[in-house]
Amino acid sequence: MASKLIAIVAGVGAGTGASVARKFAAAYPVVLLARNPENFKSLAEEINSSGGKAIGISTDVSDSKSVQNAVEIIKKEFGPDVGAAAAIFNASGGFQRKPFLELSEDSFMQSLAVSATGGFLFSQATLPFLLKGVQQKSQHPPSLIFTGATASVKSNAQMSSFSTGKWALRALSQSLAREFGPKGVHVSHAIIDGVIDISRTREWLKELGPEAKLNADGIANDYWYLHTQPVTNFTWELDLRPAVEKW
Amino acid sequence: MASKLIAIVAGVGAGTGASVARKFAAAYPVVLLARNPENFKSLAEEINSSGGKAIGISTDVSDSKSVQNAVEIIKKEFGPDVGAAAAIFNASGGFQRKPFLELSEDSFMQSLAVSATGGFLFSQATLPFLLKGVQQKSQHPPSLIFTGATASVKSNAQMSSFSTGKWALRALSQSLAREFGPKGVHVSHAIIDGVIDISRTREWLKELGPEAKLNADGIANDYWYLHTQPVTNFTWELDLRPAVEKW
Amino acid sequence: MASKLIAIVAGVGAGTGASVARKFAAAYPVVLLARNPENFKSLAEEINSSGGKAIGISTDVSDSKSVQNAVEIIKKEFGPDVGAAAAIFNASGGFQRKPFLELSEDSFMQSLAVSATGGFLFSQATLPFLLKGVQQKSQHPPSLIFTGATASVKSNAQMSSFSTGKWALRALSQSLAREFGPKGVHVSHAIIDGVIDISRTREWLKELGPEAKLNADGIANDYWYLHTQPVTNFTWELDLRPAVEKW
Amino acid sequence: MASKLIAIVAGVGAGTGASVARKFAAAYPVVLLARNPENFKSLAEEINSSGGKAIGISTDVSDSKSVQNAVEIIKKEFGPDVGAAAAIFNASGGFQRKPFLELSEDSFMQSLAVSATGGFLFSQATLPFLLKGVQQKSQHPPSLIFTGATASVKSNAQMSSFSTGKWALRALSQSLAREFGPKGVHVSHAIIDGVIDISRTREWLKELGPEAKLNADGIANDYWYLHTQPVTNFTWELDLRPAVEKW
């Protein structure tokens, strides 16, 4: 692992975040951000014990001080001039599917706090590292990748507490793609349109067969592919869904 | 003015809000919400002195207590069982077009606070009135109309502080249209794609002729038209732009 | 009926076309185009006997000679300099929902012939009349309105023979809106997202109540509203659906 | 090259088609379709002389007999039971950017003939091979990939003769993705949003630097990546543009 560039992954838990972290850890030291240390501890150990390098930082992406603290720790750990090859925003706030008039303000704001505020704070924190990655001539254009969902492009009944945050995050990613593409940073947005196969969803959609759910390692491959696109061929957005998914 | 139903307009100032208020005041008593009383005072006087009825309530739509206070005043003024024929959300937070990394968190959050949080609080506050309007058999289906912008569907470079809020608001409107349409409330979203002709923009686009800007009274007519659509023919979304606009 | 401007409606049959023709006949002499004279005969008689003026011309909009013939008849009837206030393209080719590999080429081309070729030929035939309408200072900006469908924005399995034509027609309308808006012609596209209540659909959706289908006269009102928008406030696209429609 | 599955590429010329053919020829025997044999001759020789296998068939994709003839030749060459691992539709009709009223019908129909009719005929011809590829357990899910353009999602003034065909092709690809995904065929649509760097465009955009144009080999890599996605992680659509492109 010759690279001195790092990868930063927010929203590491079971599923996509962990798979993405493992994938990028094969090429870069990885920084794992999650609110709850339980979500990155064993993953960091796994990566460190298998030849990679990972540090976990307990971070609330919706809190600017917490994000700033993570930046400080990263600089202390990797040096003040460290650049990043990739920053992946995979965090998602909890939300409730319930009649609109029964939603509490707190519950409505939860998803916005993570997706909109968190997306903003994460981008402001990581773009300086990514721009340094450009200067330090990273092998692949430094990438800022956001995880979206079906609710990023469709806002169903009783889903507004989730979709408002996801639409805001998609808007953020599009604006950043237009501003930072010309500066050499590749900003992407992936619409994950289906259930991801993780332990929590093990029993879901069984009737549709073993391939009815998205594979988290597959998503990590897709993100890695986005990361390897050259500056002449940037993808801003792609959708991802199981072949059998109805859409 | 036989109707006992009211219309509630948030975001009353020069331009669309005032035009919409005047238009709906021809049919309903109107409640004018604006943070700054300067924005509704003379308008309320104008409406009251020309045979209509208007009350202004100083309201910060992004603050739940302020919105709740407005609800209390409405009930005191019009009775606890008053229904609404229309609620129009025309509020918009300030925003700055500047390089993303120069945006302060406060500045980024301003537009989200009004468009996302404000849109949520306004909808939760007004939908009960609108549902009462359905019960009270309003002549036209009670309407909840949101003012969008070019930035509701396109997120340009350096515009994320505006577009994130506007995309969130559009998501909210789509979800509410799907949930409350079947309950008889007509939820719409208007994409205002161009400059509105108000005193502040008097000197803009002069080179394109006198018809290069949207007419605010015209927008009010468009909103009124949406309001008069029957339950068999609801429009969720329309765009509005001057004939000469490039898009 | 002081106006010397005419309205031209293609795709007159039961439903939207007839309602639109009646609506515009209250303001303008109308030209009714349909392949089968059965589709305009009684309608023309009805309009003529109730104080309006209508002529029907048997026209295949997908056949350039047939469309050219209609143009000649219009000029003979109304004079070579007649202008148009409105042209409405409501034609739709038949299509079959069946497995893609079972579609014959003829069947696939049928919808494209009407929607794509027909939309093109109708636009080329009517725009000169509409531009004359601009010169002759029609009261409302001359309007070219296209009827779209759910399939104009969503292309479901086994629906490609319909959706390809509808997407092509939507593309045509958007391009024409951009080219002819600055010349004073208002080009619109209406997404009709639901079943229209006509004799053929009388028994459909009964379980959802009497308001589960779009009202054809309501659509005519919507088109008329589009027609009355001033040049400062043009709508290119709106959607229309029953309040209870799932979408 | 152990595989007995083939790849079929329509629209082989300078640029994307040739790059795609070379890329897929590293894994599969390739069939090159182009109207003009000049467009595939030297490419076929190049592939055959460097260890791959390629045959060229002079084909007009908008002509069902010509497409049927290509199918017969493929079966004769590779056996009646041959399956396909990939079919790539890269054909595009000529078009003219000119005022709408100056377009001839022939000129308008040219792009539709290739994109809409051609897309349909190519899909009907190749899907049976792709479904055989599924049965024959191809290593990667058999892929049907369509090349789109900026004009697939935006229909500019004076561009309708191009955009109508491209929107129709996009509709076709979405419908096929929904119908054939569950059958194991991966249908994708790539929005090529920029100028591709080929000899004809050598002098274009020079002022924006050497990376202002899409790289055709890069597009071939992108298509290959789509081809390698597993059935749990299908992308229907992605966009591709140079980092410096304004959009």
Q: What is the pLDDT of residues B67-91, one digit of tens each?
A: 999 999 999 999 999 999 999 999 9
Instruction: Indicate whether B236 pLDDT > 60.
Output: yes
A167: distance to nearest CA of chain B, Å?
Answer: 6
pLDDT at A93: 83
Q: What are phi and psi of D126, to 5 degrees?
A: -95, -25
Neighboring chain D residues of A181 at a CB cutoff of 8 Å: 243-245
B177, B236 in Cβ contact below 8 A?
yes
* Residues D163-199 pLDDT 10s: 999 999 999 999 999 999 999 999 999 999 999 999 8
In SS3 terms, chain C reads as CCCCCEEEEECCCCCHHHHHHHHHHCCCCEEEEECCHHHCHHHHHHHHHCCCCEEEEECCCCCHHHHHHHHHHHHHHHCCCCCEEEEEECCCCCCCCCCHHHCCHHHHHHHHHHHHHHHHHHHHHHHHHHHHHHHCCCCCCCEEEEEEEHHHCCCCCCCHHHHHHHHHHHHHHHHHHHHHHHHCCEEEEEEECCCECCHHHCCCCHHHCCCCCECHHHHHHHHHHHHHCCCCCECCEEEEECCCCCC
**Inter-chain CB proximity D218 and A232 less than 8 Å:** yes
Instruction: Indicate whether B51 pLDDT > 70.
Output: yes
The single-letter DSSP state of residue A234 is B
* Residues C149-160 pLDDT 10s: 999 999 999 999
Which secondary-structure segment (H or E) carries B164?
Answer: helix B160-180
Region B218-239 average pLDDT: 98
Burial of D46 (0-12, 13-18, 19+ CB in 10 A): middle
Q: Residue written as tokens 């459909």?
A: C204
pLDDT at D227: 98
pLDDT-derived band at D4, boundaries 50, 70, 90:
confident
Instruction: Indicate whether C119 pLDDT > 50.
Output: yes
**Inter-chain CB proximity D158 and C168 less than 8 Å:** no
Instruction: Indicate whether A31 pLDDT > 80.
Output: yes
With an 8 Å Cβ cutoff, is B105 touching chain A? yes
Instruction: Indicate whether D8 pLDDT > 80.
Output: yes
Cα–Cα separations (whole angstroms), residue B94 to A196, B39, B63, B75, B109? 38, 15, 16, 30, 10
CATH number at residue D100: 3.40.50.720
The crossing angle, in degrees rounded to 10, of helices A16-25 and A216-228 is: 50
Q: Residue written as tokens 């309040």?
A: C243
- The region of weakest confidence among B167-181, C125-139, C199-213, D122-136 is C199-213
Q: Which residue of B has its CA nearest to A164?
A: B168
Percent of chain B with pLDDT over 90: 92
Percent of chain D with pLDDT over 90: 92
pLDDT-derived band at B95, boundaries 50, 70, 90:
confident
Neighboring chain B residues of C238 at a CB cutoff of 8 Å: 235, 237-239
**Inter-chain CB proximity C233 and B245 less than 8 Å:** no
Neighboring chain B residues of A171 at a CB cutoff of 8 Å: 155, 160, 163-164, 166-168
3-state secondary structure of A91: coil
Task: Return d(Cα D191, Cα D186) in angstroms, integer.
Answer: 16
Q: Residue written as tokens 């809106």?
A: C177
Instruction: Indicate whether B94 pLDDT > 90.
Output: no
pLDDT at A164: 97
pLDDT at A185: 98
pLDDT at A96: 84
C238, B235 in Cβ contact below 8 A?
yes
- CA-based torsion, B198, B199, B201, B202: positive or negative: positive
For residue A74, give the nearest of A141, A144, A7, A146 by alpha carbon: A7
Residue C246 maps to a domain? no
Q: Give me the residues of B, 138-167, that contact C with CB < 8 A.
A: 141
Instruction: Indicate whether A30 pLDDT > 80.
Output: yes
- When CB atoms are compared, the residue of B233, B237, B245 closest to C215 is B233
Instruction: Indicate whether C3 pLDDT > 60.
Output: no
Instruction: Indicate whether A156 pLDDT > 50.
Output: yes
Instruction: Indicate whether D158 pLDDT > 70.
Output: yes
A143: distance to nearest CA of chain B, Å?
Answer: 16
Number of domains making up chain B: 1
With an 8 Å Cβ cutoff, is D117 touching chain C? yes
pLDDT at D57: 98
B97 CB contacts (<8 Å, ≥6 apart)? Answer: B158, B159, B162
Task: Return d(Cα C12, Cα C56) in angstroms, integer.
Answer: 9
Residue C1 maps to a domain? no
Residue D247 maps to a domain? no
Instruction: Indicate whether B2 pLDDT > 90.
Output: no
Q: Given a contact as 3+ CB pairs under 8 Å, which chains touch A?
A: B, D
Task: Return d(Cα B117, Cα B111) in angstroms, integer.
Answer: 9
pLDDT-derived band at C1, boundaries 50, 70, 90:
very low
User: Hey, what's the torsion of the CAs at A61, A67, A71, A72, to 10 degrees?
Assistant: -150
pLDDT-derived band at C231, boundaries 50, 70, 90:
very high
> What are the tokens at C165?
């034509």
Task: Return d(Cα B233, Cα B141) in angstroms, integer.
Answer: 11
Task: Return d(Cα A217, Cα A18) in angstroms, integer.
Answer: 9
pLDDT at A95: 83
pLDDT-derived band at A94, boundaries 50, 70, 90:
confident
Q: Which of B100, B129, B159, B189 to mutate to test the interface with A (most CBs of A within 10 A)?
A: B100
* Residues C20-48 pLDDT 10s: 999 999 999 999 999 999 999 999 999 99
CA angle B40, B73, A102 (to 5 degrees): 110
C176 CB contacts (<8 Å, ≥6 apart)? Answer: C123, C127, C144, C187, D100, D160
Q: Residue written as tokens 């009775």?
A: B79
Percent of chain A with pLDDT over 90: 92
Neighboring chain A residues of D231 at a CB cutoff of 8 Å: 211, 242-244
Instruction: Indicate whether B1 pLDDT > 70.
Output: no
Instruction: Indicate whether C187 pLDDT > 60.
Output: yes
Which secondary-structure segment (H or E) carries A186?
Answer: strand A186-192
Secondary structure E strands in D126-242: 143-149, 186-192, 237-240
Mean pLDDT rounded to a whole number for chain B: 96
Mean pLDDT rounded to a whole number for chain C: 96
Cα–Cα separations (whole angstroms), residue B72 to A57, B66, B76, B230, C173? 46, 10, 6, 30, 48
Task: Return d(Cα B153, Cα D166) in angstroms, integer.
Answer: 21
* Residues D60-84 pLDDT 10s: 999 999 999 999 999 999 999 999 9
Residue A1 maps to a domain? no
The amino acid present at D122, given as its one-letter code, is F
The amino acid present at C81, given as its one-letter code, is D
Residue A246 maps to a domain? no
Residue C43 maps to a domain? yes
Task: Return d(Cα D104, Cα D111) in angstroms, integer.
Answer: 12
Neighbouring-strand partners of residue B241: C234
pLDDT at A131: 98
Q: Which residue of C has its CA nearest to D181?
A: C157
> What are the tokens at D195?
């100028």
Task: Return d(Cα A223, Cα A225) in angstroms, integer.
Answer: 5
A204 CB contacts (<8 Å, ≥6 apart)? Answer: A195, A213
Residue B246 maps to a domain? no
- When CB atoms are compared, the residue of C124, C158, C163 closest to D101 is C124
With an 8 Å Cβ cutoff, is D103 touching chain C? yes
With an 8 Å Cβ cutoff, is B100 touching chain A? yes
pLDDT at A1: 38
pLDDT-derived band at D107, boundaries 50, 70, 90:
very high
Q: Specify the higher pLDDT residue, D155 or D93.
A: D155
With an 8 Å Cβ cutoff, is B109 touching chain A? yes
pLDDT at A162: 96
Instruction: Indicate whether D1 pLDDT > 80.
Output: no
Total length of chain B:
247
> What are the tokens at A190?
């992936």
D188 CB contacts (<8 Å, ≥6 apart)? Answer: D143, D144, D145, D146, D173, D177, D223, D226, D234, D235, D236, D237, D238
C96, C106 in Cβ contact below 8 A?
no
Region A123-147 average pLDDT: 97
With an 8 Å Cβ cutoff, is A99 touching chain B? yes
Burial of D28 (0-12, 13-18, 19+ CB in 10 A): buried
Task: Return d(Cα A65, Cα A34) in angstroms, integer.
Answer: 14
Q: Residue written as tokens 């008593």?
A: B29
* Residues A72-90 pLDDT 10s: 999 999 999 999 999 999 9
> What are the tokens at D112?
């539709």
Percent of chain B with pLDDT over 70: 99
pLDDT at B210: 87
Mean pLDDT rounded to a whole number for chain D: 96
Neighboring chain C residues of B205 at a CB cutoff of 8 Å: none
A123 CB contacts (<8 Å, ≥6 apart)? Answer: A87, A89, A144, A172, A176, B100
Q: How many CB pairs under 8 A join A and D?
A: 98
CB-CB neighbours of B189 under 10 Å: 25
pLDDT at C175: 98
For residue A83, give the nearest of A34, A122, A17, A28 by alpha carbon: A28
> What are the tokens at B106?
């406060």
Instruction: Indicate whether B149 pLDDT > 70.
Output: yes
pLDDT-derived band at D146, boundaries 50, 70, 90:
very high
Its domain, for residue A171, covers 6-240
* Residues A180-207 pLDDT 10s: 999 999 999 999 999 999 988 999 999 9
* Residues B189-208 pLDDT 10s: 999 999 999 988 999 999 99
Residue C116 maps to a domain? yes
Percent of chain C with pLDDT over 70: 99
The amino acid present at D145, given as its one-letter code, is I
